[in-house]
Structure 1
Amino acid sequence: MGKHLILGSSGHLGVELMLGLQERYGANAVVLSDLRPSPHPAAAKSSFVAADATDFDAQRAIAENHDVEVIYNLVAILSAQGEANPMAAWGLNMNPLLNTLELARKGAVKRVFWPSSIAVFGSDVPKDGTPQDASLVPTTVYGVSKAAGELWCNYYYEKYGVDVRSIRYPGLIGFRSMPGGGTTDYAVSAFHCAMAGETLTCYLEPNERLPMMSMEDAVRGTLDLMETPEERIRIRTAYNLSGCDFTPEELTLAMKGYVPGFEIVYAPDERQDIAASWPNSLDDSWARNDWDWTPRHDLRGLVEHIIDGLAKQSNVDKPSVNV
């Protein structure tokens, strides 16, 4: 059986996906690639190749030299960072994907995963339960690149039969990495501040509702999608995927059940405008029907999971629930 290559393996999602792949298939079946290796101890268990994913020949060499069957291309500049340098974000978000799709077209790999995002949606779609087939009118270069990438994925499937699969991730919340420049990352910062006894300055309005998901749910959903028989995959742009949805105010209240002293102050900035153009929640019925998707973490479960993970990571006792 061929190996699983993660491009962008040292990033927030890359580390989580590495752990999920290692657990499911074994460390020897996982190949990691990024500009620099991840400091996570588990990264040393799998092969690592320092490479620039915008270089087609570099991607091809890794695939050929390591018997790669599946590529997970996670290379990206996220929403808030992308607005500071739109052309750099466009290039980094698009060129590695096109290289990977070309590799698959030429038969170098059998399957491709590439993540999309709720950033593909704009303010013209239904905010609650945004449907799978809602129009894509993004408001950021990150969203524009993801919308274009979805169309490229569908094109390579329709024209060349490339087995490429994708998910529109909501905000992803984990405890193993610090925030990475996304608009939804206030939620990640909230947990780190709470555990450190610090006040969070939130750049969103207290009532700004966004769809969110634990990293564990995101990784499980990704791997389940990639294991689904090809004939069951009906969406070749990207599937909506939902975990739970909440506002900064609701997250704070849920966290106070574990960290009663946690405080948050609000100082909305340009990221509030980005968040306001995104859905409040997603309709992920296509994912549920096509490959039996079901999230495990609601808001309360997510809060408990992240606080427990941070406590274990820091070798401190998990705060007792106070609800």
Structure 2
Amino acid sequence: MTGPVEPQEHRTDRTGPQAKPRRLWITLLAVIPALFAAGTAGAFWTGYSLHDRPFAWYNSNRIAATAERAARDLSPTIVVALGDAALRHATLDEPGMAALAARHGVESLHFLRIVHDHARIEDFEPLFGDVLKLKPALVLLDADLLFAERGDVAGLRRYGAHLTEVAMLGRSYLPDQSALQYAKPCHAVGPQGWTATAADRWVEARETAVRMNDDSPAFERVRRFADQARAAGVGIALLLPPRPAAVEEKLYGAGNGYRPAALDRLRGQADLPLWRLPDSARKTMTFCRSGMLAPEGRDAYSAWLAGGIAERLSHPRVEEAALQ
């Protein structure tokens, strides 16, 4: 026996036109999150890749301002220093370096220091053309720039942390470029000083941000810049801003003034002399909790550096040994 039969005109075709909107919604629900994720990732990567542009713009303007000031002097002497945050803490600002140089007979020194946190040579390459147009007498490079590598993964992590601070703490999205060049905060080290444990933590944090590779292709990039500088009549020298003895022992090995493999690679590079503060002076240096030179150490290092600049300018082929 069969049940009632639904009239033909009232049957619903469940695979007909009414099913299409349902499939469309299912498709949209699957696609929209994927599109949103892709768009977010694209925006994140674009922001990361452009985040450092203000550094180049800001320092291009500083280079132009230095050129304008130098043009007002009859016999200006321009020295440009490029490096990591350690260089910022190790040297006085422009007026202070000019005053020290004047004591050594270098009048009208225009000292332009450009630094980048966790620096690598790629950070400064957009500025190389402008630097050489300044026609400086000397360009000083942080020696670590020849070997420093900073991977995108570490950079993305820092950028993500920065965005979190922007959202949660109301920090400015764009870094404070003036603070990057001039701020020198210094918190005192605890009564135990720089212990091996503190040095281990410092080295671990640094290697998370930037890694030293003795075979880095950065060496050849610096080498090419040095060749261009020499062709333009510009001298080059390498600097090694001091760090706490416990940190240097972790970085370079006991009894070494720098990484031995890096020194081996520098041998034979006569136009890349390495200027190192004498060990006798390093023993009296004081440091901040950040591992950077404290104000007293900065004064001492700057005085030594001003003397080295004067010596190099008076004898253009000064060798490394003359500055130790």
**Could you state the TM-score of these two structures normalised by the residue count of structure 2?**
0.39
More RCO (CA 8 Å, sep 6+): 2
Normalising by structure 1, we get a TM-score of 0.39
Higher strand share: 1
